[in-house]
Amino acid sequence: MDLARTLGLFTLTALAEIVGCYLPWLWLRQGRSAWLLLPAALSLALFVWLLTLHPTAAGRVYAAYGGVYVAVALVWLWLVDGVRPLLTDWLGIAVCLLGMGIILLAPRS
């Protein structure tokens, strides 16, 4: 699987996970409708399915996915919650993505 496709798939996976967790948070913490639980469950099911689309070992996929999840979560913080990430947040994203790159691009025998 090429790097661009992998990163795109990881990004979609992260969005599905975040939406699946954000909607119940809106219900529990902000008193929104319990009907939000239905799209939340569908989003979490999509998240699980997207993780199965990677052809490599599940543990390695989950580890590499974590780096993209951190980046998407902080962009979500900015775009949805209206909280601008700090310089240290951006540095943390860079470190996570570097770690993800090492995991994904390391030579395999």
Q: State the pTM of this model.
A: 0.86
| Dihedral Cα 83, 87, 89, 95, nearest 10 deg | 160
Mean pLDDT of 90-106: 91
pLDDT at position 92, please?
96
pLDDT at position 7, please?
85
The most confident of 50-59, 66-75, 98-107, by mean pLDDT: 66-75
From 10, 48, 43, 11, select the one nearest 24 (Cα to Cα).
43
Enumerate the domain spans of the chain: 3-105
DSSP designation for 84: P
